[in-house]
Structure 1
Amino acid sequence: MKLHYRYSFLLITVLGLIFSTCKEKADKGEEHAYTNALVHETSPYLLQHAHNPVDWVAWGEEALEKAKEEEKLIIVSIGYSSCHWCHVMEEECFEDEEVAALMNENFINIKVDREERPDVDEVYMTAVQLMTGNGGWPLNVILLPNGKPLYGGTYHTKAQWMEVLSEVNAKYNNDKAGAEDYANRVAKGVAEVNFIPKVASEQPLPDDFLEKPMESWKLQWDMEKGGNLGREKFIIPANLNYLLNYARLVDDLETDVFVKNTLDKILQGGIYDHVGGGFFRYSTDPSWKVPHFEKMLYDQAQLLSLYSKAYALYKEPAYKKAVLQTISFLEREMKGSDGGFYAAMDADSEGMEGAYYTWKEEELKSILGDDFGLFAEYYSINPAAAWEEDRYVLFKEEPDVAFAKAHDITLADLSSKTDTWHKELLEARKERIAPRKDDKIITSWNALLISGFIDAYKAFGDPVLLEKAIVIFQSLKSSAFTDGKVLHSYKKGSTREEGFLEDYAFLARASFSLYEVTLDTTYLDFTEKLMGELESRFSDEDSGMFRYNEGDELIASIIKIDDGVIPSPNAVVAENYLLLGHLKYDKAYLEKADQMLMTVSARVGQAINNYSYWSDLILTRVNPFYEIVTVGEEAELLSAEFHKLFLPSALVVGSPVSSDLALFKDRYMEGETYIYVCTNNTCKLPVKTVIEGLQQLRDFQGN
């Protein structure tokens, strides 16, 4: 559905999807000509606008009621603290007294941090995409007093914004019936997008269900540079994780080559912070070379998981190094005092994007001395590769093996040199003004990070990594969980009360992961508690899915089933059902997972790359799913050995004691530890060694 409003003001060009970061302005010690209601908020993004001449208020019932009482249109402006174009529009429009006067006189003005209220963002982003075909941030919508959208766009210049405001207000006052008719149709369109009809068929998916959608997706792949074809490159962890599993389970060499090349090219590119660790949001070019320099916690979290799993499969030292270096970055730059991790780091510092991360040739020569020549060849420091104003983004043209061979140096010596270079440059970087941080703690993102640390622990076996996961989990339970309610975000002084489906689903998944590696059933109990809570709070009977939020204050319910840079929370719910169902031999859980998969299956067939987390779950239905069970005093040790391996479509669990859980019942023998390999309610005879267990797994796969 794409709507067209007859008024000419909607013909103003709306810029497409633009991502970057913005510099949060410091307030300390400053005198301000204006102060609005946002000064009482804790969100760094909202505080950034607290001294605009615009009479901003935060999203809430009071502001919406005021619009109805005064019969004024509502401006809702949505962004986030690391959004470059949000900052540009603030400077050009919201700091301008002439613009502010127009807004204050005619509108109720609401500012929204999309990271605090992703539900508000999701509803109005959908509306803007329906109206214009585009979306992005800043997201600026004009609403009727009842909250239904009348106009939507992204970034505007001052002239564009003032024209929009004047014409929308005039047309609304002159033709309220026409405006209400249009807004009703937009609201209906948003509801239709979120209508997910339940699929009643009980027919199983065919074994080759994923083949056709995969063939269509492959046409979009950049086999040379990795990622999808296009001017820009985004890392979508759910896509790459699915492709790792698909390549192995289906024995697809083309997919295997593509996904490994993509993983390698990302680590060679400037989208990876070679000096300090961590991944930037996306690349502005097809070669992963020049990124937008913001760092988001959800990227770091999922890429810890992805590269840890890839290490288990390929044993590439560069993958392990990237994971450990990224963990060091997170501990150094993003960790809060209570054990949770901050949401984001800006791209800008010293008034320029990327200033903290890029280098001038003279700086590098001064810091590296005699090593500069080799460093310059390794990281493409030459005039043809310069970025802006003689600044360089560190970027590797070739992998380490090829570089070492070409320069007659061993890989060990090269690794030693790069470690030294990185240490020296990191020390020099510390003298710079660091980008500002968005210091709120987002529960769902931290839950993803728990899973990231656990996947790193599985791959590398370092108990310190498991301890880090446990610390985050304890922090979230202490600060974001009360009486069954999970908060979405918090920080000191915050009064936020919202909790969304993703917070419950991701935290339940993280808790189950902790159970998998610790064998401590208190984590399993917590997983089931959260699943019960989300069922009671978010269930949508008509679709068999789950709503994004609890309340009904928005113009439409949101049922988020597609993946973005963060997985679909509904897909994670389905995964939780699947894992619990296999662990407990609980048909009700498995039937719920199957129902959700069947409901989404048609969309997977149409656009698999938008539903890759679901596709990963479908792999477990069209291929055998295995349970690898260890029971006995050495259960944790043997489970850890299996966890180090790349075993897609398998649940590895254990119990060191006698247990009534279905997978362990009547299998405990005092003084012994046994391994059981099972699928489809059939188990091989118990064995005692990992090698024997793997042979049984191969025997199953060969049948």
Structure 2
Amino acid sequence: MKINSLFFVFIGILVLSSCKNQNKNQAEGVVQESHEFTNDLINETSPYLLQHAHNPVDWKPWSDDAFKKAAEEDKLVVLSVGYSTCHWCHVMEEESFEDAEVAKLMNEKFVNIKVDREERPDLDMVYQTALQLVNGSGGWPMNAIIMPNGSPVFLGTYHEKENWKSILTKFSTEYEKNPEKMKEYATMLADGVQEVYEQPTKQMANTITPNKIESGITKWSTMWDKDWGGNIGEEKFILPANLTMLLDYAVLQQNANAKNHVLNTLDKVIQGGIYDHVDGGFFRYSTDNTWHVPHFEKMLYDNAQLLSLLSKAYKLTGNEVYKIKVSETFKFLKTEMRNKGGGYFSAMDADTEGEEGVYYVWKKTELESLLADDFTMFSKYFNIYDEKVWEDGNFVLHNTFSKSGFLKESGLNEVEFDNKLSNWKSILYKARQEREKPSKDYKVLTSWNALLIDGLLESYKAFGNDEYLDEAVSVFNYLRQHNFANGELVHSFTKDSKQKEVFLEDYAFLAKSAFTLFEVTLNTDYLNVSKELMHTASEKFKSTSDLYYYNVSNELVPKIINTSDGVVPSANAIMAQNYFHLGHLEYNKEFLKKAELMGGLITSDFEEHAVSYGAWGNLLLGQAYPFYEMVVVGEDAKALMNEIHKTFIVNSIVVGSTVESDISLFKDRFSIDDTFIYVCQNNTCKLPVKTVSDGFGQMKAFGYQGFK
């Protein structure tokens, strides 16, 4: 694969493969047991690393000391990267890393390093890029053999025991016989990786135009699955950042094809087995192209982003099903993924006692026993037919009926159906609670919790439910209390955590969340936090270009400029969005210019590969099409803003103040006698009005066409 094409499909690395966790921790403690072997990972706090602390392999955490040892002993390094809810990571652990024969070979010939990719996404990003350079694809577990200077000479994913032994023997022998030849290859591969991450800085900035956005989406549309939604492929990932941008574009341009694709995708997803119809919440991806059988791990980042997307879709359509799925997903997250202090865990495992999905699937006989006379109707709604069996006689609940379609099919009225569905779920939920639950990765990741804050705030805007706002504030306060160390933000927190690393996504995502909290609450303390985080990020991660490094300097790992979305939005794109919104709030020309320069560097990438640049697409929409500022000032600003937030509006910021303020959009507009709405576009403002409908009328007068 050519390096320039690799850059654009890096998303493929981030959504491939999957894996397992045998960690018994359900909260923030470690079960103490007697073990034959104990290695240096016992001193770590990552659930994934602790999972391997009693392997006979002499694992070490990533550190300068580990590479110093490799250099002094003139040994290659085995680098194994995974995460605690990774199924195939655990399979390889059982087959190879718990095997005495394999461990002996690894300990004698190599220095062995284990990395939790969720703790160190920077390391994972670098070596996954190298893996895709040589293999064309990536995934987890990622197992590499690298030089003492960090340069890789072999990269792969899961390997069966005998194959892994052969690889170890081959490379250790070759290193002993031809070390110079191996060094040359490692240098070449390291240079290739560096070129990938330097490419964005070498691109010419382009003018951001509607035609280029149209072109990018037109090319992307050739990938759309018109029947089942999502992108065409044997497996399917939801990728909420892309769908969010596409929904905004559809409304802005009144594009029915784009709108229908997003809504069809959402409808198929929430009907499919990738949604947990009993507990609520979404699984990581579908192993087929109809969303039927998922890989049964639940990740915080997916569910957080889907709260936001479903809430926006509800505002656009009024579809009550979207509202229900938001409520059920939030209930799942708060019940299963929240720690006692208010932070949210990163993931819930796919496996229970080594078997994937057993907590979630059902035998036909079990369903017949639990549902009795209702089984026939239940089986029709959730496709419990012999030809739909998954494996080992197990069924994954999914439906292919719309609600209206099933009412016609069943002869029930809406109230009768709702009561039955609620009763079915209650019965199965109670039955499932008797099963052993999958374990959880109890790390609290700053960036993923920031995504949750955004999702909760979008849900609050759509539904006006104070519980969503209160929880968003609670999560933000938790991060402020726990995910700062010595005044610096950290990426991951666990009890007694030692991690000091932090990444651009942590600052960018949390700054965005703080700004949105300011929008919703009108509390300028959140605005000040957002600006502080942006300032720190701009200094900490600055590069020689207008983009930002993903990570800080490290002798063993090159600094990375990554611009494409993966399962989470591009951190550089969110930085640019933050500059754009702050720039409009404060009429800060420097911030607006910075956002324009960053967007200009990515415009051609979006035009060619929009599927990988959804977060950038949101920025480019605001820069290529008219952008609106809706400002509410006065004693009743909060109430009017809550009314505005219930409407789907794109290419706009909605901000307000109940007090006199020197912030540019509020300055000289406050009146103690009344509350006014100001609508502005391109440095031009209409006369103030007092009602939301009049404010929307002024947007229409400016040419806005997005209202239903």
Aligned partner of residue 119 in structure 1, secondary structure: helix
TM-score when scaled to structure 1?
0.96
Listed as ranges, the matches of 1:345-384 within 5 Å are 345-384=348-387
- Preserved CA contact (<8 Å) 2:200 2:561: no
Task: Tell me how far 1:36 sits from its aligned partner.
Answer: 0.7
From 673, 677, 680, give the equivalent of 1:678: 680
- Preserved CA contact (<8 Å) 1:578 1:589: yes
Listed as ranges, the matches of 1:242-321 within 5 Å are 242-321=245-324
Task: Tell me how far 1:28 sits from its aligned partner.
Answer: 4.1
Listed as ranges, the matches of 1:525-604 within 5 Å are 525-541=528-544, 543-604=545-606
The answer to whether 1:23 aligns with 2:22 is: yes
CA distance in 2, matches of 1:221, 1:197: 27
CA distance in 1, matches of 2:19, 2:200: 36
- Preserved CA contact (<8 Å) 1:20 1:292: no
From 498, 505, 517, give the equivalent of 2:520: 517
CA distance in 1, matches of 2:205, 2:633: 35
| Identity between Structure 1 and Structure 2 (%) | 49
The equivalent of 1:95 in structure 2 is: 98
Task: Tell me how far 1:213 sits from its aligned partner.
Answer: 1.8
Instruction: Kindly provide the CA deviation profile for residues 227-251 of structure 1, in whole angstroms up to 9, marking residues without a partner as x.
Output: 1111111110111101111111111
* Counterpart code for 2:103: A
* Counterpart code for 1:435: P
Task: Tell me how far 1:484 sits from its aligned partner.
Answer: 4.2
The equivalent of 2:398 in structure 1 is: 395
When structure 1 is superposed on structure 2, of 201-210 and 684-693 the one drifting more is 201-210
Task: Tell me how far 1:555 sits from its aligned partner.
Answer: 3.3
Task: Tell me how far 1:521 sits from its aligned partner.
Answer: 0.2
Q: Residues 554, 315 of structure 1: CA spacing in aligned structure 2 closer, same or farther, 3 A cutoff?
A: farther
- Preserved CA contact (<8 Å) 1:279 1:300: yes
Question: Relative CO higher for 1 or 2, CA cutoff 8 Å, sep ≥ 6?
Answer: 2
Aligned partner of residue 539 in structure 1, secondary structure: coil
Task: Tell me how far 1:205 sits from its aligned partner.
Answer: 2.1
CA distance in 1, matches of 2:351, 2:92: 15
* Counterpart code for 1:23: Q
Listed as ranges, the matches of 1:72-91 within 5 Å are 72-91=75-94
The answer to whether 1:494 aligns with 2:493 is: no
Task: Tell me how far 1:2 sits from its aligned partner.
Answer: 5.4
- Preserved CA contact (<8 Å) 2:208 2:599: no
CA distance in 1, matches of 2:268, 2:241: 17
The answer to whether 1:414 aligns with 2:417 is: yes
- Preserved CA contact (<8 Å) 2:24 2:31: no
- Preserved CA contact (<8 Å) 1:233 1:283: yes
Task: Tell me how far 1:17 sits from its aligned partner.
Answer: 4.0
Aligned partner of residue 198 in structure 2, secondary structure: coil
The answer to whether 1:42 aligns with 2:41 is: no
CA distance in 2, matches of 1:401, 1:573: 43
CA distance in 2, matches of 1:279, 1:671: 48
Task: Tell me how far 1:202 sits from its aligned partner.
Answer: 7.4
- Preserved CA contact (<8 Å) 2:631 2:654: yes
Instruction: Kindly provide the CA deviation profile for residues 333-387 of structure 1, in whole angstroms up to 9, marking residues without a partner as x.
Output: 0101111000100011143211111111121122222221211111011111111
When structure 1 is superposed on structure 2, of 333-342 and 546-555 the one drifting more is 546-555
Structure 1 spans left out of the alignment, 5+ residues: 4-13
CA distance in 2, matches of 1:417, 1:246: 38
CA distance in 2, matches of 1:297, 1:340: 11
Listed as ranges, the matches of 1:201-220 within 5 Å are 204-220=207-223
The answer to whether 1:485 aligns with 2:484 is: no
- Preserved CA contact (<8 Å) 2:242 2:614: yes
- Preserved CA contact (<8 Å) 2:638 2:658: yes
Task: Tell me how far 1:652 sits from its aligned partner.
Answer: 0.4
Task: Tell me how far 1:85 sits from its aligned partner.
Answer: 0.6
* Counterpart code for 1:378: Y
Instruction: Kindly provide the CA deviation profile for residues 568-603 of structure 1, in whole angstroms up to 9, marking residues without a partner as x.
Output: 000000000000000000000000000000011111
TM-score when scaled to structure 2?
0.95
* Counterpart code for 1:630: V
Aligned partner of residue 630 in structure 2, secondary structure: strand
- Preserved CA contact (<8 Å) 1:2 1:133: no
Listed as ranges, the matches of 1:418-429 within 5 Å are 418-429=421-432
- Preserved CA contact (<8 Å) 2:205 2:601: no
CA distance in 1, matches of 2:704, 2:193: 48
CA distance in 1, matches of 2:334, 2:441: 15
In the alignment of these two chains, the number of paired residues is 691
When structure 1 is superposed on structure 2, of 258-267 and 402-411 the one drifting more is 402-411
The equivalent of 1:118 in structure 2 is: 121
Structure 2 spans left out of the alignment, 5+ residues: 4-12
CA distance in 2, matches of 1:256, 1:638: 28
Listed as ranges, the matches of 1:551-700 within 5 Å are 551-700=553-702
Q: Residues 50, 297 of structure 1: CA spacing in aligned structure 2 closer, same or farther, 3 A cutoff?
A: same
Aligned partner of residue 640 in structure 1, secondary structure: helix
The equivalent of 1:405 in structure 2 is: 408
Aligned partner of residue 210 in structure 1, secondary structure: helix
Instruction: Kindly provide the CA deviation profile for residues 664-703 of structure 1, in whole angstroms up to 9, marking residues without a partner as x.
Output: 1110111210000111001111000001011111111269
The equivalent of 1:168 in structure 2 is: 171
Task: Tell me how far 1:29 sits from its aligned partner.
Answer: 6.0
Instruction: Kindly provide the CA deviation profile for residues 197-248 of structure 1, in whole angstroms up to 9, marking residues without a partner as x.
Output: 5479777322211122222111111111111111111110111101111111
When structure 1 is superposed on structure 2, of 367-376 and 377-386 the one drifting more is 367-376
CA distance in 2, matches of 1:371, 1:456: 34
Instruction: Kindly provide the CA deviation profile for residues 456-511 of structure 1, in whole angstroms up to 9, marking residues without a partner as x.
Output: 00000011210000000000000112454111001112111111111110000000
The equivalent of 1:66 in structure 2 is: 69
CA distance in 1, matches of 2:193, 2:203: 24
Aligned partner of residue 142 in structure 1, secondary structure: strand
CA distance in 1, matches of 2:55, 2:643: 57
* Counterpart code for 1:21: K
Instruction: Kindly provide the CA deviation profile for residues 279-332 of structure 1, in whole angstroms up to 9, marking residues without a partner as x.
Output: 000001111000010000001110001101111111111101000001100111
Q: Residues 22, 203 of structure 1: CA spacing in aligned structure 2 closer, same or farther, 3 A cutoff?
A: closer
Aligned partner of residue 210 in structure 2, secondary structure: coil
* Counterpart code for 1:613: A
- Preserved CA contact (<8 Å) 1:484 1:530: no
CA distance in 2, matches of 1:303, 1:596: 27
Listed as ranges, the matches of 1:455-466 within 5 Å are 455-466=458-469
